[in-house]
Structure 1
Amino acid sequence: MSAVTEPTTAAGTGSLPTDPAEIARLDRAHVFHSWSAQDKVDPMVVVGGEGNYVIAGDGRRYLDFSGQLVFTNIGHQHPRVTEAIAAQAAQLCTTAPAHATAAKSEAARLIAELTPGDLDSIFFTNGGAEATEHAIRMARQFTGRNKILSRYRSYHGATQTAINVTGDERRWPSDTATAGTVHFFGPFLYRSVFHAETPEQERDRALEHLEQTIRMEGPDTIAAVMLETIPGTAGIMPPPEGYLAGVRRICDRYGVLLILDEVMAGFGRTGRWLALDHYDVTPDLMTFAKGVTAGYVPLGGVAISRAIRDHFGQRPYPGGLTYSGHPLACAAAVATITTMRAEGMIDNADRIGSQVLGPGLAEIAQRHRSVGEARGIGVFWALDLVADQETREPLGADRVAATVAACKAAGLLPFTAGNRIHVVPSCTISDDEARQGLAILDEALAVADGH
């Protein structure tokens, strides 16, 4: 029997610890943290949230430029959503997925209103990784083929198939080379592998590379191409105009399905309901999660085209989840979508991106030699930090960490990935809050400049 750390608060009463030191002690004694060396983690104790701020255990308020993991699209503790969750809990907390509920039916209807084309059937999951797993399973079942093509510099989740589809180094420890996944290079002009000098060259050469990959792998072996509409954790790289439409044409030419991953970029983050709304492209399957409930209750899913839905009209779909369409999660989705619509959050994200964050980050990039490029859209931006602007060598991890520490010391909570600082506040961020965060970031980058 394993040892148990005795609590110092009301044992056996169901009460939660309130002392920040006790919360931290219990965390270190019993919580296993993701993506971390367990002996090195030192998590900040969070005891509350309010709007665009996070409240730490020591009482400090941090302006949240992280969206936590880029999901609190409506900010923290929005009363319309917390009240909807409480009302659903009072009526029906949970039920088996085979049953129909008001929350699940209405959430599916609202999501189907937002999806393009005939993606009108919604399969609910618990999060984005499971959405990836099931979208791929549907594609393989529908086509009778096995291979999935996805780009380098991508992230699709950490379950077994999802991590193999992922195109960054987090895949390596789990990559068995037997998952039926093939990677290719997508467009990224700042770090082009195609020796391109213009967005048009980058687009055309990336499309040619994808088509060559399909030909060399064998079109009849490929079920789908899976892409993040705008890659998120890998660097927030909006594709050049015409790229996604070109991918759609290539997929159609070879009878390959197109799966677009809207898990991070969807539900307002880019200043549109879905990132794909910028590009006039309709996939065969679309995954979503994160912003659909702003993370208040975990929920993800797959939006499914009519043809794929009808494939399973008379034959069972071989997959399911215990909590698919969970009432609390679906009630949170209904409240989130209706609140975003009622309060104009999508328009606010678009305006903040074009009038405040975009121009502000461009000015910051001009002032700091450690910033190679600022790129993004809506409330979805990244600063690519470099040791040398000419060679574009990524800034070292220690200097990035020191820059983040300077941000936190000044009351700003940023999101980091590799050599990048991502600026990803909620869709509700005000002009003053956005400018305050940019000012803190501007000062903190002096640390990065001093490498």
Structure 2
Amino acid sequence: MTPQTDPQVGAAVKAADRAHVFHSWSAQELIDPLAVAGAEGSYFWDYDGKRYLDFTSGLVFANIGYQHPKVVAAIQEQAGKLATFAPAFAVEARSEAARLIARRTPGDLDKIFFTNGGAEAVENAVRMARLHTGRPKVLSAYRSYHGATAAAINLTGEPRRWPSDTGTAGVVRFWAPFLYRSPFHAETEQQECERALQHLADTIAFEGPATVAAIVLETIPGTAGIMVPPPGYLEGVRALCDEHGIVFVLDEVMAGFGRTGKWFAADHSGVVPDLLTFAKGVNSGYVPLGGVAISGAIADTFARRPYPGGLTYSGHPLACAAAVATLNVMEEEGIVEQAARTGEDVLGPGLRELARRHPSVGEVRGTGVFWALELVRDTETREPLVPYNPVGEANAPMAAFAAAAKERGLWPFVNMNRTHVVPPCTITEAEAKEGLAALDEALSVADEHTV
């Protein structure tokens, strides 16, 4: 699709946005949102005709890229047949979406509770765990993000939690493994794994195992930094949960549906959780959809006992039709396998080469099309390029880096002192190399702030 230039329309779109749209996570008078005219594949463009290679996949959801014709057609067909219907009924698109999702989830996670997004999925997973166990507490990691609704934001570890943290939500946080900034003074991945598991075991012991309903973990943390867990860690958490009768919840909202080069990030370790939350990539964000995949044991809890939760739009037909089409396209076109190859052959080697040449890159980590660059002022001390949770002038180096990337036609994902490389799973080798070249130039700006 050729970008159409129409600055007058763009100005009108921007004016209406500034007059009436209240944006999330933002000081409203300090933002300048880009007016987007269109998108296709790995690119989007503005009304001036400037095109950007999207290294963010929206908010890490456009796994099959923008405007895939088969998914667009499926939404149009479903709208003509049955645009909406209440969740208490059996509807073809809903049933088929649940069947296809259950086919891909690990182990016996064969029951699917549909939500409108990831935060609601986490909310309901926690509710299920508490009702199943009869226990109040939930454990989550400091470096995490689980959503912005009441329980989900309290489970979140990163600073967006702070303004909404009630301190009474029954949440206990712990340190998950992250060798580059190890809280356990570990020197190897094995040490990090062993010490993180011991820390978690001690936390459970001192909180009282009989009070802990669930441990909620992002299989690979997303917004908080894309820290791939060391070998054996998830297996160790699974063993602790089994030992104490704790429900193990894996949050795959960002990591699921091909993002890591597997259908689910849990597939890398073979670990089967009791509950798995999903959203984003399930239908590439074309229509809002999320859900909880539920094990047989937890589903049995509600076989004759009503589950006290629901949503007006649970399993919305348009969203489910988009999911069916997306999952079929991913299989037909080998998109999961493509994501694995892109990570192994292009992004991984390319990003590591950038790290060798740029003093601002402290670490490269990731898998598939799910990568992070840790930007630092000093590779020896590992001092971050900007402070934790920077505001205003403190964030200037990262803002300059982001601006340099955009000038070169690359839309970057930036969070604190990191840039994440999370393009659509469908990105081609040529597109990925184009993005790496733009990133190379933008990192030269970050290098100016190193010591």
Which TM class, normalised by the smaller chain length?
over 0.9
Determine the C-alpha separation between the residues in 1 that align with 2:206 and 2:46: 53
Determine the C-alpha separation between the residues in 2 that align with 1:378 and 1:31: 35
Aligned to 2:392: none
Match of 2:74 among 70, 76, 84: 84
Aligned to 1:163: 153
Moved over 2 A (4+): none
Determine the C-alpha separation between the residues in 1 that align with 2:14 and 2:116: 27
Match of 2:274 among 277, 281, 284: 284
Q: Is the 8 A contact 1:63 1:413 kept in 2?
A: yes
Match of 2:296 among 306, 313, 318: 306
* TM-aligned CA deviation for residue 68 of structure 1: 0.9
Aligned to 2:238: 248
1:407 paired to 2:405: yes
* TM-aligned CA deviation for residue 56 of structure 1: 1.2
Determine the C-alpha separation between the residues in 2 that align with 1:410 and 1:57: 17
Q: 1:278-325, CA deviations, whole angstroms, 9 ceiling, x for partnerless residues? A: 011000000000000100001000000011111100010000000000
Give SS of 2:414's match: strand
Alignment size in residue pairs:
435
Aligned to 2:261: 271
Determine the C-alpha separation between the residues in 1 that align with 2:428 and 2:188: 34
Match of 2:427 among 421, 429, 436: 429
Q: Is the 8 A contact 1:370 1:449 kept in 2?
A: yes
Q: Is the 8 A contact 1:68 1:415 kept in 2?
A: no
Aligned to 2:441: 443
Determine the C-alpha separation between the residues in 1 that align with 2:106 and 2:284: 21
Q: Given residue 401 of structure 2, which amino acid in structure 1 is its aligned partner? A: T
Determine the C-alpha separation between the residues in 2 that align with 1:395 and 1:163: 27
1:202 paired to 2:192: yes
Match of 2:105 among 84, 106, 115: 115
* TM-aligned CA deviation for residue 59 of structure 1: 1.1
Determine the C-alpha separation between the residues in 1 that align with 2:297 and 2:48: 54
* TM-aligned CA deviation for residue 60 of structure 1: 1.1
RMSD of aligned Cα (Å):
0.9
Aligned to 1:418: 416
Give SS of 1:298's match: coil
Aligned to 1:193: 183
Determine the C-alpha separation between the residues in 1 that align with 2:47 and 2:411: 14
Give SS of 2:45's match: strand
Determine the C-alpha separation between the residues in 1 that align with 2:377 and 2:167: 34
Q: Given residue 362 of structure 1, which amino acid in structure 2 is its aligned partner? A: R
Determine the C-alpha separation between the residues in 2 that align with 1:18 and 1:253: 64
TM-score (norm. length: structure 1): 0.96
* TM-aligned CA deviation for residue 57 of structure 1: 1.9
Aligned to 1:12: none
Determine the C-alpha separation between the residues in 2 that align with 1:254 and 1:305: 17
Q: 1:229-265, CA deviations, whole angstroms, 9 ceiling, x for partnerless residues? A: 0000000000000100000001111111100000000
Determine the C-alpha separation between the residues in 2 that align with 1:162 and 1:58: 39
Aligned to 1:14: none
Determine the C-alpha separation between the residues in 1 that align with 2:8 and 2:198: 58
Aligned to 1:7: none
TM-score (norm. length: structure 2): 0.96
Aligned to 1:362: 352
Give SS of 2:351's match: helix
* TM-aligned CA deviation for residue 420 of structure 1: 0.5
Give SS of 2:94's match: helix
Determine the C-alpha separation between the residues in 2 that align with 1:18 and 1:282: 53
Aligned to 1:398: 396
Determine the C-alpha separation between the residues in 2 that align with 1:338 and 1:191: 40
Match of 1:353 among 319, 343, 350: 343
* TM-aligned CA deviation for residue 47 of structure 1: 1.3
Q: 1:74-125, CA deviations, whole angstroms, 9 ceiling, x for partnerless residues? A: 0000000000000000011101110110000000000000011111000000
Q: Given residue 147 of structure 2, which amino acid in structure 1 is its aligned partner? A: G
* TM-aligned CA deviation for residue 414 of structure 1: 1.1
1:320 paired to 2:318: no
Determine the C-alpha separation between the residues in 1 that align with 2:424 and 2:164: 32
Q: Given residue 59 of structure 2, which amino acid in structure 1 is its aligned partner? A: L
Determine the C-alpha separation between the residues in 2 that align with 1:161 and 1:97: 23
Aligned to 2:40: 50
Give SS of 1:315's match: coil
Aligned to 2:164: 174
Segments of 5+ residues of structure 1 without an aligned counterpart are: 1-16
* TM-aligned CA deviation for residue 18 of structure 1: 7.6
Determine the C-alpha separation between the residues in 2 that align with 1:117 and 1:394: 40
Determine the C-alpha separation between the residues in 2 that align with 1:271 and 1:80: 22
Q: Is the 8 A contact 1:410 1:440 kept in 2?
A: yes
* 85-94 or 49-58: bigger deviation: 49-58
1:336 paired to 2:326: yes
1:374 paired to 2:364: yes
1:149 paired to 2:147: no
